[in-house]
Amino acid sequence: MIPNAASMYQIQFIYSLRNHDTHHHLYQRLKQILCSPLYTCPETKMVWIKEFERIVNMKSEKSDLQLEKLQQTMMNGYGHGHVQGQSSSLSPPPYKIDFADRRCITDPEIYQLLHTFFHTVIRNMPECRESKTMGEDHTEGNDGRVESRIDAILALLEGRGDGTDHPYKLIATKPGDPHFFKLLDVGCGNAEITQGLAEFLNIPKDNCVACDIKESKEFSPKVLDRLTYVQLDPQQTRLDTKRFPDSSFDVVVALMSLHHIPHYSETLKEIVRVLKPNGRLVFREHDLFTPYLAVILDIVHALYDCVFKKIQSISPETFCTTYRAFYKGRTDWQREFKNVNLVAEPHSHDLEGIYRYPISIRKLQKDRPIKNVLASYMGIYRKPASSIPMFTLVPGNLISEPSKKQKLEKNQENHENTLQNQ
């Protein structure tokens, strides 16, 4: 497989749109993302952005031969389609950057230079040293992200605001009860949200399971004391049937993890398998309403893995040549959920208009608000209580969708009737 050269020039691509008539706001979003860990440090932001723009305009340190190979790959068409958008129904954005007139610096070089400057200069500025939002090795520090996610999950489970009653409002059964509430977190990250849910809902350690591809040694002892961690094989699409039998969990949580799974359709089938009847899937995902968003999202992942962390999760060169994601739009995810027989709850945020909101950039858009480029949303879906075919609402009627077996039996019956009539 020829390396995707487009992934080596994503920052340059967004930077090239800064004066574009239609897409110039994407560069403003990029700058906001760059400054996300510095939202309480206005003076530091200015230093950071100025250094970023200086770096972007530098010449590459790569050899002429290396740059020639990258540029040739772009000219051959491999860089004109964005690989991360291939799983979406949207067409990928074209890459139209002219590399012929200068030795354009590549994304890995940019990320490495930004990482050095961020941890040697930015973090040592007075504003950053005094800021409580800057953690020791993570950008988010104590900004309430974990608490807000937990509250959002509980709100969906409780059905707040939709006027209906849900079984998760009172989960106060004894831990020894075999029917006690069970939760699975697929792609748990650092598992802090899973830990918070376990503590808030008083879920026993054996009943709260978190899984990811990380090794258990990467988690804090406090987290591992509160939940059961299972390491997944990144090459596998099935959950362990011995450890996770059919209909074993009341709730499955998947926060920003589905787009990292190549075989997401198979994984969704596994999630449905392990859910109890009437069990819920709570998810959080991106809404790829524009193919350009895929480029921005890749840069976001790279910044958090290669720039903001003091110890990089992965080298910038490796990230830019190996990272793959499978972003989808809201309707694409809805179609995937429907394919595995999951039913949206009435208060699910992926319903039209619930979570989208405009961001007004009057100076840039001539008093026209633009869409939130980093649109992400949470939703909740239910596994039907029985294996009876799902029902489709039709005005004035409730019509069942026949299964393949029923169709075959009906066709056979029609064939036999035809033979008898002959």
Phi, psi of 337 (to 5 degrees): -65, -40
Q: How far is CA 260 from CA 45, 87, 264, 362, in A?
A: 30, 12, 8, 35
Cβ neighbours of residue 55 closer than 8 Å, sequence gap 6 or more: 105, 110, 113, 114, 117
Q: How far is CA 158 from CA 163, 263, 345, 350, 380, in A?
A: 10, 30, 11, 17, 11
Q: How far is CA 238 from CA 171, 242, 249, in A?
A: 29, 11, 16
Least confident span in 134-148, 321-335, 405-419: 405-419
Half-sphere exposure of 10 (CA within 13 A, CB side): 29
Fold classification of 145-288+327-387 is Rossmann fold (3.40.50)
SS3 272: helix
Q: Would you state the structure tokens that stand for residue 201, as one six-digit string?
A: 């809902």
Domain boundaries, the chain: 5-130, 145-288+327-387, 396-422
The edge-to-edge listing of strands for the beta sheet with 275-286 is 228-231, 208-212, 183-186, 249-255, 275-286, 376-382, 343-344
SS3 67: helix
Q: How far is CA 127 from the centre of its chain?
A: 31
Number of residues in the chain: 422
- pLDDT confidence band for 164 (50 / 70 / 90): very low
Q: CA 380 to CA 401: how far, in whole Å? A: 23
Q: Which residue has the higher pLDDT, 366 or 191?
A: 191
Q: What is the pLDDT of residue 253?
A: 96
Average pLDDT over residues 365-369: 44
Q: CA 83 to CA 85: how far, in whole Å? A: 5
pLDDT at 201 over 60: yes
Cβ neighbours of residue 302 closer than 8 Å, sequence gap 6 or more: 107, 111, 316, 319, 320, 323
- pLDDT confidence band for 147 (50 / 70 / 90): confident
Q: What is the pLDDT of residue 191?
A: 92
pLDDT at 236 over 50: yes
